[in-house]
């Protein structure tokens, strides 16, 4: 769900506080990564999703200031960046806890007891979907099918899929959880160099 009304198509009708308070300056290394990524596409604008993943991996979430920095690095209008950020659920427009706990709420997980997991998160950690624990350690999200339904009910904790889960198993995983691998680290490869060499 993107907008406050839960519809991707509808814009954020209610202005949401999204300013982090300080301008975002992307480090030189990130800017170089962005240039390399842009060179992998016939239209450099196509790099926006990997670039947003990278920026979010570094900053933890996408503030309005981060959008501005991305718009500049991507040579794109801010409005176009904003449009992309708000369409996709993996981009978070609010600060997040250090560990993400994404519990699947779709059919196979529902059939095998996802509701119990949500109830447990509420009772034990005091969080509903979309909320962060008071200590800032974790943010819970209710997500749609993560396509690991054979392990239903399941969750993605940090970067890794876990299941089948019980409340006790969930506690154990949460206690051990560390921030994991990131999307941007997973998609950098030799073809970037090969393509750069070609140009």
Partner 1 sequence: MAVKGFLSALYEQPDMHRLAVAQERANAYAQARRVITMEPAAVIDAVKAANLKGLGGAGFPTGMKWSFVPPKGDKPHYLVVNADEGEPGTFKDRRILLGCPHALLEGIIICCHAIRSEKAYIYVRGEYIHEMKRLQGAIDEAYAAGLLGADHLGTGRRLDVVVHPGAGAYICGEETALIESLEGKKGQPRNKPPFPAIEGLFMCPTVVNNVETLSYLPFLFEMGPQAFNDLGANGTGGCHLVSLSGHIERPGVYEVPMGFPMMELINGLGGGVWKSRRLKAVIPGGLSAPILTADEAQQARLDFKTLRDMGSMAGSGAVMVIDDETPMINVLLNCSHFYHDESCGQCTPCRDGSWWLYKICLRIARGEGRVRDLDEIVRICNNIEGNTICAFGEATAWPIRSYVRKFRGELEAFIQSGQRASEADWYHDDLAAPPLVQIAGVAGTMGAHV
Q: Is 185 helix (H, G, I), strand (E, B) or coil?
A: helix
Q: Which of 52, 55, 109, 127 binds ligand FES (CB under 6 A)?
A: 109
What are the DSSP E strand ranges found in 39-154?
A: 99-104, 138-143
Q: Quick one: which segment of 28-36, 74-82, 145-153, 182-190 binds ligand FES (CB under 6 A)? A: 145-153
Q: Is 112 helix (H, G, I), strand (E, B) or coil?
A: coil
Q: What six digits make up the tokens of 77?
A: 């209008």
Contact between 189 and partner 1 per CB under 8 A? yes
Look at residue 154 and give the partner it binds from partner 1, ligand FES, none, a contact being a CB closer than 5 to 8 Å depending on partner kind.
Answer: ligand FES
Q: Quick one: which segment of 54-62, 127-135, 148-156, 168-176 binds ligand FES (CB under 6 A)? A: 148-156
Shortest separation between residue 167's beta carbon and ligand FES, angstroms = 17
β-pair type (138-143, 99-104): parallel
Secondary element (H or E) of residue 157? strand 155-157
Shortest separation between residue 51's beta carbon and partner 1, angstroms = 9
Contact between 50 and partner 1 per CB under 8 A? yes
Contact between 166 and ligand FES per CB under 6 A? no
Shortest separation between residue 16's beta carbon and partner 1, angstroms = 15
Q: What CA–CA distance (Å, rounded) separates 186 from 179?
A: 15
Shortest separation between residue 95's beta carbon and partner 1, angstroms = 18
User: Segment 167-186, which members bind partner 1 (CB under 8 A)?
Assistant: 180-183, 185-186
CB atoms within 10 A of CB 127: 19
Residue 167: HSE in the Cβ half-sphere, 13 Å Cα cutoff: 11
**Interhelix angle 28-38/190-198, nearest 10 degrees:** 70
Shortest separation between residue 21's beta carbon and partner 1, angstroms = 25
Q: Which of 66, 156, 162, 170 binds partner 1 (CB under 8 A)?
A: 156
In the sheet that holds 138-143, the strands lie side by side as 138-143, 99-104, 155-157, 160-162
Contact between 157 and partner 1 per CB under 8 A? no
Residues that bind ligand FES (CB under 6 A): 104, 106-109, 145-149, 152, 154
């Amino acid at each position: 769900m993107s907008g406050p009304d839960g519809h991707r198509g509808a814009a954020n009708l209610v202005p949401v506080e999204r300013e982090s308070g300080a301008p975002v300056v992307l480090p030189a290394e990130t800017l170089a990564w962005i240039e390399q990524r842009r060179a992998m596409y016939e239209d450099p604008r196509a790099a926006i999703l990997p670039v947003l993943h990278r920026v979010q991996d570094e900053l933890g979430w996408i503030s309005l200031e981060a959008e501005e920095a991305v718009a500049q690095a991507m040579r794109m209008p801010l409005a176009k960046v904003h449009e992309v950020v708000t369409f996709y659920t993996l981009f978070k427009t609010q600060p997040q806890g250090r560990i993400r706990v994404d519990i699947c709420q779709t059919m196979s997980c529902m059939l095998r007891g996802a509701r119990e997991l949500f109830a447990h998160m509420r009772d034990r950690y005091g969080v509903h979907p979309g909320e962060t624990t008071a200590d800032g350690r974790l943010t819970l999200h209710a997500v749609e099918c993560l396509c690991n339904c054979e392990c239903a009910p399941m969750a993605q904790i940090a970067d890794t899929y876990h299941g089948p889960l019980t409340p006790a198993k969930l506690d154990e995983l949460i206690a051990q959880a560390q921030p994991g691998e990131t999307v941007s680290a997973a998609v950098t490869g030799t073809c970037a160099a090969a393509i750069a060499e070609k140009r």
